[in-house]
Structure 1
């Protein structure tokens, strides 16, 4: 759409549907596709064009500014800077209320964002927790879906109420014009929600909430006393009784100066204390070929400009392929527990040719162990490989689930208990994929067995070849990513060190050779059965010849 590739839907509201989209240069944007009834005629499109022109002048690190728009297209859209992270209401629901210096920092950042919006003659008119995205511990004001040019604010459809009850100022509910004081009221309600974990005007039917807003009946119990008086004043029903936005910022600066600078999120942090999570990687532009360094700000949104090597950049990828390449995962059921974009992220650079050859030889050595095991004890080896595959797949699923949570919001103390509680589910969920992979590999093995029969190979030799084919099938078969991933965490570091790789490969080959020698000298063991399968089958004489 409009030269953008739509990647996934981020959400929707009364104004339109918001997509994560990618520009031709690789940058990600939040692209809002507007609903037809919002821009249904030329006058509405002219209004939108004027609004976009004004909003495009907003420039602030606390605001997701507009980067592109097409008010006159067949499907009009507005593209803004994509801000990764959880919305404020999601953050509060999952992590609890914001307190102490963090709350002062959040209030200051939102006030700074509103000041930048008001500076170009624009009102936001829809400041609320869902329109604030937490980029780390820094709030970013998003979604100008309801913003209006200050001198053209009464443009709603007759009978429409554009906004969210509980975060709209009383004068708007009375049908009056919005002013900068209206945004101050919404700012205070949003900060109060962040500090208490509940809407300041309560919940319930919209009419009841709006009535409490008009009366100024808010509940700020449990709010940090440091900001309570300021929010009380900002939530006054009469606009004239509220402090202006510059006054709000001055009081916050004074409060911040008294508390000192010991707060999270205020200024540059050491990179080691600020892990790059998956949403940050999604927003980061792809590294430019031939450039040795990039600005760390592109990754973590900090003011630090310390360069990092291009190979250390977290790149948007799929699964790291067996040859070191990176590819987007296909959209099939085997990856249901990944993100809806079916994309993971891997920071490892592509391996060199020699290292990829060593990886392939190490995998082949492992297949010889499977071949020797099948030649010596087919049933036991088959059962062991099935159980091993099942455990690896379930472990991979569990690890992916934990990794996704950490990529979204960092490490949490409950990661280990959550993993333990979810283990039974992952064991059950891994069964269908395991059975599919084993059956597919058995099919490959059976086809290989027919070739061995046609070549008139002996039993032990045929079982060895069949076992080798079965091992390769388990490694490259459908859904085998869940098996390869955990194994490669061990084998890839070994392949990266030539000496270690040589020793390990020789040891693995020796193990496979030992199993094969035992099969030749002692014969095949069909445990738990006493006889080999199809021992009583006799082929017609014409087929033998």
Structure 2
């Protein structure tokens, strides 16, 4: 393990444009902290280190349960670093990916806590300027804002001209994309975009190339479908491309205290320019410091799509900055072909099994169908419940306890599927008997037809779904796919050799229940 100052680095928590964040232990006290080792480009020369010291001095005054505040820093050491409160938990992006969108009261709580975090940062006299899902850590159901104000440390032409991404398109407002300076309205826009992602599980300005995302942001073309009407109306005005139309932080806090208020009436009753000049957006009268705060902002300038420094970024850099911008991966044609081969291999193996040990193979196949259908039904109910009201701590135990009931619920439709598949398999067997096919060939054909119909008949989607989730990861990798095929081939060869050595084993019967026909 390495040490930095009085801190022992335990593991890497993440990496960003400004540096690498480590989980560390403060040796004198044993306290666990998040320690960000800053890149040399960020601090640079003595002037840069002085600037970092001034910034950290002001940021250390911020204290809020909704913010991972700065505890310590050393701008002058051989390795400059900043120490923040360690927040155990997943980022909002990972939480939504694992648990689904946040709903109902949990969404109201999340939105209110996050706007209170923004207010706390502003009360410290700085702007955040990079609010996004990967900068929000979920401590249970409570959001904690990280990396507040540190973007200003990197606000230097020597850095911005070298391609460092000081924000994520999709969570940055149009005025920043135009190259204007950040204002309090900047954080309001980013807050709204982050809340929209939490509520829907998708970026409000969509995914895809960075230029397309920024163009939609400039035009205010956002997607808030699925959010409850009152909050959707608030987010709609907060995501306005015109900064003057956005509510202030204080107005948003007031709305969350009393959602019966109209956010539109509140916004129209306040002069946004006066609020920015007096710090009224935060209810404290304290000015917010930023490099552009001393000159007027022209939010009414036409939103012309012209090149910005962000448009020179590689789209992969944007995805690394915030994974919510990644385009959902589409399965390649090769992967589909490999998965089809695996499906075919399973069908052929089922036929071989039915030819060698027909009773045992049929029992195993039908039991697997019933089990897969019941588990799929339980999973669907579990997912729909989370989609409706968000994740809860008791979802896992409830899923386990409720699974037997869902297995029982699936029995009638499973019987229909089995009768359908069994009838067609029997028809195939009768055709083989009519042409005087050997008993082994007849059983083999019956097995292949039975397996195929169990995967394609009425209600078979609940069989295909769980099996596909196993086969798809194997098909994406040629190596794993080849190993899976070798395993299937090895089992098939074993069955063929056993058939040639012993014929058909009708256990638990000593001989075929169909008499001389088999």
Q: TM-score, normalised by structure 1?
A: 0.47
Q: Which has the larger helix fraction?
A: 2
More relative contact order in 1 or in 2 (CA 8 Å, sep 6+)? Answer: 2
Q: TM-score, normalised by structure 2?
A: 0.49
